[in-house]
Amino acid sequence: MSAETAAGPSPSHVKDAHRAMWARGDYPAVADRLIPDLGGRLVTALGVGPDDRVLDVAAGSGNASLPAARAGARVTASDLTPELLDAGRRRAADTGLDLAWEVADAEALPYDDASFDVVMSSVGVMFAPRHETAAAELLRVCRPGGRVGVLSWTPDGFVGRLLATLRPWAPAPPPGASPPPLWGTPGHVGDLFGDGVTDLTHDRGEVVVEGFTGPTEFREYFAAGYGPMLTVYRSTADDPEQRAALEEAVDALVAEHDEGGGTMRWSYLLSTATRA
């Protein structure tokens, strides 16, 4: 697959809405509490090491970028949302890590072809609406023989099912958009990368989430800090009946995944490949 054969990037108004959604709440705090080690798993799987030129796409506040920098790589953390990059920049400064933080659209990356040894994304690029376009960009900026890796929530895991649960109250997706959790299925990733990669492998893993007393506490925490959920909460602010239906649906999903004592397991797919 090539950038020329993929659909073009999403319209600017879609980008504006996407940027605003992830700027709401406090996603950096949510990521720090619930998935602090997730990006590091991707960095390890890709074998990131000293002097690798690494691009983290849809990097957020640096869940994968910071571990890559700690491994000695020369890292560029890119994201559509400046507020997330600002949080990552502060974290890097606090820990003495040196990396670049740049606003960039995953569907139209502002980098030359074959610019990086490693191109990666941890639960980030999956949210770009046009999967084919984003996948083409990941491959375009990776040098031949370089490594590409994505870590994505699965459709049947908790986060994938949460996004599906929120869908009735969420804004309609733009034309050409695909559901984010499709990135969590091996067949979809294989179709997206096609003959642009070799040695494509998939590993399914889990994140153990603990510390919530029950569905209500989890829902209230997520509704305050997680952009997609905060967005649907705002959409039901003036409709008590719809708000109640939303809360009931989310609480039921959390209760279904609660293994006792507030412990949940969230499944993800980690896919790595070599750029052909």
Q: In whole numbers, what is the pLDDT of the chain averaged over residues?
A: 95
Sorting pLDDT into bands at 50, 70 and 90, what band is 261? confident
Q: What is the largest CA-CA distance in the chain?
A: 56
Q: What is the pLDDT of residue 7?
A: 67
Pick the closest to residue 94 from 25, 24, 32 (CA basis).
32
User: What is the fold of 12-275?
Assistant: Rossmann fold (3.40.50)
Task: State yes or no: pLDDT of 1 exceeds 50.
Answer: no
Long-range interactions of 11-17: CB distance < 8 A, separation 24+: 11/174, 14/129, 14/174, 15/80, 15/105, 17/171
- Single pTM value for the model: 0.95
Contact 205, 267 (CB under 8 A): yes
Domain ranges of the chain: 12-275
Which H or E element spans position 78? strand 74-79
| Residue 174 or 72, more confident | 72
Going by the DSSP 8-state scheme, the letter that residue 157 receives in this structure is S
Q: Which pLDDT tens digit goes with each residue over 103-147?
A: 999 999 999 999 999 999 999 999 999 999 999 999 999 999 999
Task: State yes or no: pLDDT of 242 exceeds 70.
Answer: yes
Cα separation, 114 vs 195, in Å, equals 16
